[in-house]
Amino acid sequence: MRAVGLITEYNPLHNGHRYHIQTAKQLTGADCTVVVMSGNWLQRGEPAILDKWTRAKLALQNGADLVIELPVYFATQPAHLFARGGVTLLSALGVRHLVFGAEHPQLDFARLARTLAEQRADFSAYNATFATQFNAALQAATGVTLTHANDMLSFCYYVANQQLPRPMTLLPIQRQRADHADTTIDDRHFASGTAIREAAFARQWTTIQPVVPADTFDQLQRQRLQRWADFWPFLQYQLLTVGVAQSGQYDQMAEGLEYRMREKAQTATDFDDFIHQVKSKRYTYTRLQRVATAALLQLTQAEVQAAQAQPYIRVLGFNATGQTYLHQVKKQLEWPLYTKINKDLRQHAMNLDYRAGRVYELVNGQSQDLYRRPWRF
């Protein structure tokens, strides 16, 4: 069997995502569609509107054959590390094609990635945003800058792919109409995840219905929808009670930011107020949300880097095709494959994802890891 891979968040799964799944299989002629999906905490540093199990089920109901969780130590990172996590997971599973959406798929991302790689650019300085470092290096090396989120992510896929022993074939496709950051729904078929979430929180169901699959529409209406406001009391408690010596060790924390966050937590009335008070020219909102996520989950830079060096494969769901593919590649896997969390995994190998799930449960109310087995369709 041949597999095509997708790296996703499905926050929530909408018509553009379903088009992506269908097009990926058509372009490649693959037998199996493998989806690597972020868990309950996302790349923009925010909780998923629906939990990972609901989103994995929606993926399987809309064309995916196998859904793998992108661990929190990759899912909540800047674009280059998010991309590296997804690309290496797919490669470890023997996937040969990766299909992804871009605002400008006609760009020669492979050439840009090769050129920048020759410059040995380093994007590890947390005192400047990844986007700033990245575009400065790319401009110097190629004369090109990438200002759209999915174009930058596309570039990062190529960079990560070039570092694989056996690179995959990468196929960018045109994003359908709605821009990634659009906040309104103007089209009768496609809309951005941002616009759909805003409409869902406002319970504008007639606006949402045409732009999402029926399964997604049903889950959005039935389930409690999570957002940062729900987790603010827990974050505020962490910031007010944990010493700055400890909070300074949180993942992606810049020097001095821990003092600013603790100070603003004293007076902020809610999460939005807190982020606006902490915001400065030095930090993007996304960067601050990722640091806030690390603070809430108490993820230190040291343990995140250690976890990234010891990855694993966590299965969230599969159908008959996905199960057959797993059996085909299982004996060749170099990474551990997990279908459930036991006490040992909870305390050691999968500690960070278990911790992230437990915090999400404080609002969601549903077990995210213990006693949960993959969906079988």
Binding residues for ATP: 7-20, 101, 150, 175
Strand partners, 300: 250
* Residue 287 DSSP SS3: helix
Which DSSP letter does residue 226 get?
P
Q: ∠231-235-240 over CA atoms, to 5°? A: 150
Task: Give the amino acid at 286.
Answer: T
- Segment holding 37, helix H or strand E: strand 32-38
Long-range contacts formed by 214-222: CB under 8 A, 24+ apart: 215/13, 215/57, 215/58, 215/61, 215/62, 216/12, 216/13, 216/14, 216/58, 219/12, 219/50, 219/54, 219/58, 220/12, 220/49, 220/50
Which stretches of 62-118 are assigned E, i.e. beta strand? 66-70, 97-102
Please report, in angstroms and rounded to a whole number, the separation of the first and last CA atoms in the chain.
Answer: 19
Strand partners, 250: 300
Nearest to 369 by CA among 309, 319, 316: 316
Q: Which residues are annotated as a binding site?
A: 7-20, 101, 150, 175
